[in-house]
Amino acid sequence: MWAPRRLLTAGLLLVCSGVARSELAYTVAPKTYTESPRTAAIEVRLGGYKPLIDREKSLTSNVYNEVFGDSAMLLVELEFQKFFYQGIGTAGVGYSIGYAEKYAHATVVPADPNTPPTTSSVTTSLKVLPMRLMVLYKMDYLAFHYNVPLTPYVKAGLNFTPWWASKGGSIDYVNGTRGAGGKWGYGFTAGLGLLLDFFEPRVARDFDTDVGVNHTYLYAEYTYENVNNFGKAGLDLSSRRWSFGIAFEF
């Protein structure tokens, strides 16, 4: 009478312990995180842009400084990158476009040349739209394999910068010469990115899982560019500048 009941109890215990073991085994099985494909990046940056207009040889005075003062323009840039190599570092091509403007009051030219010019209520401005097609290389191998959160990189590219000078809200004409044009040039950039994933790896993984952004960087870079139609005479929109921004690789 008691034997079958004991047998049943023992059997139940065995089944339960088996279930418990299998549940324990399931709970402790490690979840593996696999990064989504990384093929491109978007960067946004800000920086001071002061064109080297005053170094044009034919100029008899420091035009930019006299009109706009010594301060730089605020340049906002957006850059798209497409990667074609990912191994020991990452290489790709990029295209960036930016915008900067500088305003000042025009001066009233007196009829008497001995009278000093006065400030007019009319504003004058210089606006630029720097664009660049580039190749780039990021040394991110150490960041991804050895937990070093710093990624140095370099870029080199062809520049084209449309510009226009206005007075009173419209493009300025002086003796039929239109104050607008475009300048070709070249430029080099070197920078250092700080990989934010290093500080919040879990958030970084979620960012990848949810929206496909693999890595996020804060970065600083220095740009050396000559934008003067490759040394020809005319408006010189070359610059040497620092920029700071944020980059998203996806």
CA angle 180, 64, 59 (to 5 degrees): 85
> Would you say the C-alpha torsion 59, 60, 61, 63 has a positive or negative sign?
negative
Name, in order, each residue with C-beta under 8 angstroms of 59's C-beta and a sequence gap of 6 or more.
Answer: 53
Among 178, 200, 203, 244, binds other proteins (CB under 8 A): 178
**CA of 94: how far to CAs of 186, 214, 231, in Å?**
14, 18, 24
Residue 79 or residue 221: which is nearer to other proteins going by CB?
Answer: 79
Among 52, 72, 76, 106, binds other proteins (CB under 8 A): 106
CB of 54 closer than 8 Å to CB of 62: yes
With beta carbons less than 8 A apart as the criterion, state whether 191 and 218 touch. no
Interface with other proteins includes 101 (CB under 8 A)?
no
Q: Does 122 bind other proteins (CB under 8 A)?
A: yes
At 177, is the secondary structure helix, strand, or coil? strand
Candidates 43, 128, 34, 111; CA nearest to 77 is 43
- One residue of 1, 3, 28, 174 binding other proteins per CB under 8 A: 174
CB 243 within 8 A of CB 47: yes
Contacts with other proteins: how many residues (CB under 8 A)?
Answer: 62
User: What x/- string results for residues 35 through 54 when contact with other proteins is judged by CB under 8 A?
Assistant: xxx-xx------------x-
16 contributes a contact to other proteins by CB under 8 A: no
Q: How many residues does the chain have?
A: 250
Is 201 a binding residue for other proteins by CB under 8 A? The answer is no
Q: Is 156 in the site for other proteins (CB under 8 A)?
A: no
* Among 217, 222, 213, CA closest to 194: 217
Q: Residue 63, interface with other proteins (CB under 8 A)?
A: yes
Choosing from 89, 149, 152, 181, the residue that interacts with other proteins (CB under 8 A) is 181
Region binding other proteins by CB under 8 A among candidate stretches 17-25, 69-77, 127-135, 192-200: 127-135
Binding site for other proteins (CB under 8 A): 32, 34-37, 39-40, 53, 56, 58-61, 63-64, 66-68, 80, 82, 95, 97, 104, 106-109, 111, 117, 120-122, 124-126, 129, 131, 133, 160, 162, 165-170, 172, 174-175, 177-184, 209, 212, 233-235
